[in-house]
Amino acid sequence: MLENRFLYWMDLFYSLFIKVGSNMQSFLLLYMRLTWGHQLVMNGLFLHTDALSLLEIIGGSLLIVGFASRLIAIPIIISTLSALSTVHAENLANLKFITEPLTLVNQEPYPFLVTALLVFIFGPGRVSLDAWIKSWVAKQPRY
């Protein structure tokens, strides 16, 4: 009887932690989208003057509001990977970033890459236009 009660309480606490963690996921994604989406827009407006600036402005804006998030994450991932592999290649040579992660983490495109990967893998979260549209479409009558 004592074992069953212990297992019951352990299951209850574990379920609570899972629920809290799952709810925090959307807020983390919102924070990442707002922070790095804004920074991406600022980079596009003030730092770059090439075609990449258009991707940064549009992509950052879409990340901020959470619209077409997974779709826009793909070109952001590609552009940040190409920036890391070309402009910052000397810091990534010989896979040095595996033994010394700061050589990768300290590079300017890295937070944009992480944010785009998170949004691509997990989606934009519940606080986004994508989630609102999905909810609205689910409520529409089926024909």
Q: What is the pLDDT of residue 143?
A: 80
pLDDT at 2: 54
What pLDDT is stored for residue 96 in this prediction? 78
Alpha-carbon gap, residue 88 to 110, rounded angstroms: 11
pLDDT at res. 90: 77
Predicted pLDDT of residue 94: 75
R_g over Cα of the chain: 20
The pair of structure tokens assigned to 98 is 């595996």
- Specify the residue for token string 């300290």: 106
For the CA atoms of 35, 79, 133, 37, the dihedral, rounded to the nearest 10 degrees, stands at: 10
Contact status, residue 107 vs residue 91, Cβ threshold 8 Å: yes
Split the chain (143 residues) into runs of 10 and give each run's mean pLDDT.
79 92 92 96 86 93 96 96 85 77 87 96 94 93 85
Q: What pTM, to 2 d.p., does this model score? A: 0.85
Looking at residue 102, its pLDDT comes to 86
